[in-house]
Amino acid sequence: MILATPLIESFAAHQPEVEIDFLLRKGCESLFAGHPHIKELFIWDKSTKKYKGLFKLLKQIRKKRYDYVFNLQRFASTGFLTAFSKAHHTVGFDKNPFSFLYSKKVRHIIGTGTHLHEIDRNLMLLEHIVELAPVIRLYPSAEDFDKVSRYKTKPYICLAPASLWETKKYPEIKWIEFLNSLPEDINVFLLGSENDAELCNNILKKSVKTKVFSLAGQLSILQTAALLKDAKMNFTNDSAPLHLASAVNAPVAGIFCSTLPAFGFGPRSENSFIIETNTKLCCRPCGIHGLKACPEKHFKCATTITNDQLLFCFNS
């Protein structure tokens, strides 16, 4: 969803008269709270009565008679909504099962030889329609910045150590090594959802550094973005916090373990770094989106990343 925002920014910058609605899954609507360029949010609750909700959404969408519907996903459910939306123009990627019904389908290109960023892939849907603005952007409110202002009284960095995929997670012991090598006068905030609180607390307890604080589960998405904004540096895995930092142009160092930046999910902030192993591994990458465990059982794509690589980004 964060990497879809350049489509919104393109219209806002070059055709501000266009009205934009956005469809997203329930639980993520706070991401666009107070967004100045979105008129209406459609929310699909996939957890209860999934398909009943899908048909209800279709009915709402068809009433709108949109000029354009753009589908950035490759799943059948959203392809169904797009194909039968009654929009004048439907645009999406050719990998979607319903793309044969679109008025325009665009080849979806991903792989180690392409080096296309995800936002560039997404913006291919807008080519020849509007001038492109390849900028990831979210809009934390004044209240969001006020909420986190108490954490900004001293220089600080943020660590987001979690990921949905185990092979994307920089190991806990390596995070602790990094924390223990930091100057004592820098504050460190550990970030994540409620589900990440246990990991963050484990890192906090095992670190000898005293100025480490866990905020996992205590901040909203936009409040987290507001905190990332003014950090000396933010350290993340190849996961959502990386893009959250990019969306407010915050300094960020993205750690890529089993995945590759060439897949198109690297940082876009002006001050950004990519951290990955310098060891050549025939097993890397083992997948585009990460796996539940290292297939080779050694996880060298993560363990061979050195602490000096993280310190270089901290000191830069």
What residue ranges in 209-258 does DSSP mark as E strands? 212-214, 233-237, 252-256
User: Tell me, what's the pLDDT at 211?
Assistant: 95
User: What is the side-by-side strand order in the sheet with 187-190?
Assistant: 212-214, 187-190, 156-160, 233-237, 252-256, 272-276
The per-residue pLDDT for 267 is: 97
225: amino acid identity, one letter? A
State the Cα–Cα distance between residues 159 and 23, nearest whole angstrom. 30
Would you state the pLDDT for residue 46? 85
Same fold for the domain at 2-123 and the one at 143-315? yes
Domain segments of the chain as ranges: 2-123, 143-315
Average per-residue pLDDT in the chain?
A: 95
What values do phi and psi take at 106, rounded to 5? Answer: -115, 135
As a dihedral over the C-alpha atoms of residue 301, residue 307, residue 313, residue 314, rounded to 10 degrees, the angle is 140
Contact 118, 264 (CB under 8 A): yes
* CATH 3.30.450.20, domain 143-315, yes or no: no
pLDDT score recorded for residue 112: 62
Its pTM stands at 0.94
> Which pLDDT does position 288 carry in this prediction?
85
pLDDT of residue 10: 97
User: What is each CA distance from 87 to 100, 166, 171, in whole angstroms?
Assistant: 15, 40, 47
The predicted-structure confidence for 157-209, as pLDDT tens digits, reads as follows 999 999 999 999 999 999 999 999 999 999 999 999 999 999 999 999 999 98
Residues of the chain short of pLDDT 70, as ranges, are: 112-114
Cβ neighbours around 248 below 10 Å, total: 21
Residue in 21, 26, 30, 96 with CA at minimum distance from that of residue 61: 21
CATH classification for the domain delimited by 2-123, as one of 1.20.120.1200, 3.30.70.20, 3.40.50.2000, 3.40.50.150: 3.40.50.2000
